[in-house]
Every structure is written in structure tokens, then in C-alpha cells.
Chain A
Amino acid sequence: MGPRLKLFLPLILFTLLAMTLFRGLSLDPTELPSALIDRPLPAFTLPVLGDESQVSQADLQGQVSLLNVWATWCVSCRVEHPYLKQLADQGIPIFGLNYKDDDAQALLWIKQLGNPYRITIADREGTLGLDLGVYGAPETYLLDANGVVRYRHVGVVDEKVWRGTLEPLYRELVEGAGAQ
């Protein structure tokens, strides 16, 4: 390196540092990738909310779907609930995982706010939540038709998240499944 170029070294270093730090501003360190990406949904047999019947991982297969982790104690779940209903009305299959909750309260919630879920799994002890690596409701998992986890979103699903992230992935999976 010539002596003239050496003079620019501090500027180059500064630019690199500034770029790295600027990138850091738009990263969310609380958003963790799921350890289950591209792996099948953990096996489970749990009761259906408000019902005596049991549901297992096989019942969620057969179509690309969303698995939404929610609870009545979760404030953000109340925020995202209307949008989930909107998605369900558009025909997006959504399954609910009622996480560490009281059945009676959960049923009341569904009765009062409406039910976007095809099936709601009652995970009273949080065992499935643990196997999924849930660390805070709401979380939404994108499952393909074979029940393989393709994506996880932590936090509220709203218009922006759906249009920007989930919908493109969802469409891709639906088309991929149709082509096979």
C-alpha cells in the first residue's frame, strides 16, 4: 500500500464501521430464528379447546397453514385478533394454540371476539409450546402441507407483517404444493 493510500485508511475504517452500525439500527435482536425451521412440527396429542376430542400433529397437515400461539393473558394477542379473523375470512387456514391458559377464559374470548381458528389446541401446561420453542405469545408459525415448520414470526401479525413477510412465503408454498 502506497503512503498516499495509507492516508485514506482512517476514512475507510470509519466508513466500514458506520455501515456496520447503521445496519445494526434496523436489526431486532429480540427476533430469534426458530430452531425448528425446515423440521416437522413436534409430535403431540392434546385436547381440543372446549371439546373432549384430541388433536395431534397429523390433524394440521394437508394444507399450508398458520399456527398461532395465543393466550387470554397476552395483551398483544388481543391486538392481532381482528386481523387473524380477517385472514381466516380470506380462506387462510389458521390453527390456534392456546398457550398456558384457562379453558373457560379462552372459550369466553372466542365467544366474544370471534373464532379465526379451524382447531384450537388447548396446551394448558405449555408442553407443546416448550417443544416449539415458544418464548412469548403471540407467535405465528407457517406450516407447509406436510406439517413442516417453514417460518416463525414472533409478535403481532398485522397487515405489514402479512403482506411483507408471511404472504409471499405462504403463496410460494401453496404454489409449490400445487405444482407437485
Chain B
Amino acid sequence: MNLLRTLLGGVLLLLLSGQVLALIETYDFSNPELEARYQQLSEELRCPKCQNQNIADSNAPIAQDLRKLLHQQLEQGASDDQILDYMVARYGEFVRYRPRFGGAAALLWLAPVLLFMAALGVLLVTLRSRARRSGAGSATLGADEKARLQSLLDRAEQDS
């Protein structure tokens, strides 16, 4: 009875481990440079079904298909640009985590610069208006104002 249970447990374990292996498919590459590009591209391509994951992380069927396709294309000697063009032609610019410059994506690329310039502008205007205000109604006196005050006081002293 005990033996049977151990055996059953072992079989179950084997079945489960097979499933785990099936989830992490591995591809053989003819040279390590291709493998590096595979890693890089699969992290840069977005899974269309599960939008916040790249195809390297996702286990959706579509991500598996795209990984397989990526492997095929790399082995066939396609360049990075060719592969990305192929993907974009089918799934739209959406499929790239680093969209090409142009169209609506231009706004995305330029937003940091534009926001920085706007912030700089606001800062300049604020500083200038503050400087103007403090120049007009300041409590401390400038050097020439001090000199003038001194001469007035001196004169008052002489008059008295």
C-alpha cells in the first residue's frame, strides 16, 4: 500500500514536471549572437493580448507564436529592422515598446523635452516676478540708498 502510494506520488510528480518544462520552451540558435538578439528583441516586443508584458515574459498562446516566429526569422538571417517591420505591419506600432518617431508617437518622444521647457519657463517667470517685487518693496537697503540715508541723517544732525 505504501509502495503504491509512493509510486503514484512519483508518477504525479513526473507528470507535473513535464508540464512545467512545457511552459519554458527553449530554442537552439546556430550562434550566440543570434541568441543575444533573440533575448533583446523578445524583451522589446509587446504581447498584443496581455498588454503590459513583453513576449519574453508572457505565456499567452500569441506570445508563444511570436517567439517561435522570432526564432525562425533570426535563423533565416533577417535583420532587427526587418523583423520589427514585419511585426508592426501585422500588429501595428503598438507591438513595440520603443515606438518609431512620428505621428502620435512623436508627442510621446517629445513630451519630456516639452515638459522640461514648460517647467523652465514657469520657473523663470516666477523668479523674475519675485525679483521685481522684492526690488520694489525690499526692507533692506542697497549701498547707494545707505549712503543717501547717511547723508540725510548727517544733514539733520547739522541742522539741529
Contacts and interface: CB of A to CB of B under 8 A. Distances in A.
Interface stretch (B18-26, B88-96, B106-114, B140-148): B88-96
B40 interface: no
Contacts of A132: 90
Q: By CB atoms of chain A within 10 A, which of B51, B61, B65, B94 has the most?
A: B65
Nearest to A134: B62
A76 to B, nearest CB: 13
A136 B61 CA distance: 9
A35 B62 contact: no
Given A33-B92, A34-B92, A35-B89, A136 B69 contact: no
Interface in B24-55: 48-49, 51
Contacts of B48: 32, 133, 135
28 contacts: A29-B51, A30-B51, A32-B48, A32-B92, A32-B94, A33-B92, A34-B92, A35-B88, A35-B89, A35-B90, A35-B91, A36-B90, A100-B61, A126-B65, A130-B65, A130-B69, A130-B90, A131-B90, A132-B90, A133-B90, A133-B92, A134-B62, A135-B48, A135-B49, A135-B62, A135-B91, A136-B49, A136-B62
Interface of A: 29-30, 32-36, 100, 126, 130-136
Given A33-B92, A133-B90, A133-B91, 20 more contacts: A30-B51, A32-B91, A32-B92, A32-B94, A34-B92, A35-B90, A35-B92, A36-B90, A100-B61, A126-B65, A130-B65, A130-B69, A130-B90, A132-B90, A133-B48, A134-B62, A135-B49, A135-B62, A135-B91, A136-B49
Query: DSSP class of A's interface residues: helix, strand, loop or mixed?
Result: loop
Contacts of B94: 32
Chain B: interface size category: 10 to 19
Interface of B: 48-49, 51, 61-62, 65, 69, 88-92, 94
B130 to A, nearest CB: 15
A100 B61 CA distance: 10
